[in-house]
Amino acid sequence: MHISGDHPLRKLFNELVSRRLFGDAQVRDAEVTSYVAGLLTRFTHVRELYRIRNARGKRLEDVGEMLIESNPLLEGRSFVWEREVRKHIGDYTLFLSGLFPEYVASLPRRGLRLDAFVDYIKAGKESYRVVSCFDQFEFRDEAPLFRRLAESFELCVFGLNLVKRDLERFQQESYRGWRAALDDAARG
């Protein structure tokens, strides 16, 4: 499902990411900022967040499983598939590290999951770097963006942490507004 360019959600993410990444995190790269805002918009659909499936059709939710799936010497289907999965790993780890850092921090305590042993920041940076190495033919124009995403990965995570705070603040303000309206209605 595509979210149009003038949709309020896309506008909200563009505004927040621009302010937090370009301003506070000092990622002075409009293309990176636009990509990260688009990532948030895309991942509002759970289908996009968990779109990588193994050869048997199983949805992959662990980065460790995705890394195995991406490797052409292990489970990977082709080098183009490796690029696609690595791009998703970069996006997935950036999204989770930025908006759900508590979840990522809890992974080592979650038992025998493969992700208990995966450093999301390292996996995300490395995956974007791998994607940037696909710099021929149809991928030539995108390669520099992914190199810059790898280089600014930690700053993008920091910027998304600030976006998360903004979203939480908006949620609290809305709750207070609804609560006040309900109290006013009850008093009547």
Q: What is the pLDDT along the chain (188 residues), one digit of tens a residue?
A: 678 888 999 999 999 999 999 899 999 999 999 999 999 999 999 999 999 998 889 999 999 999 999 988 776 688 899 999 999 999 999 999 999 999 999 988 876 678 888 999 999 999 999 999 999 999 999 999 999 999 999 999 999 999 999 999 989 888 787 877 777 777 87
The parent domain of residue 104 ranges over: 52-183
Instruction: Name the pTM for this structure.
Output: 0.90
Is residue 42 one of the residues assigned to a domain? no
DSSP sequence for 122-150: HHHHHHHHHHHH--SGGGTTTHHHHHHHH
Is residue 155 one of the residues assigned to a domain? yes
Give the SS3 label for residue 45: coil
For residues 33 and 21, is the Cβ–Cβ distance under 8 A? yes
Is residue 114 one of the residues assigned to a domain? yes
Domains: count for the chain: 1
Instruction: Name the residue type at position 160.
Output: L
Specify the pLDDT at position 139. 95
Cα distance between residue 179 and residue 105, in whole Å: 33
Is residue 103 one of the residues assigned to a domain? yes
Is residue 134 one of the residues assigned to a domain? yes
Nearest to 56 by CA among 42, 48, 68, 40: 68
Is residue 115 one of the residues assigned to a domain? yes
Is residue 136 one of the residues assigned to a domain? yes
Could you report how far apart the first and last alpha carbons of the chain are, in Å? 43
Is residue 18 one of the residues assigned to a domain? no
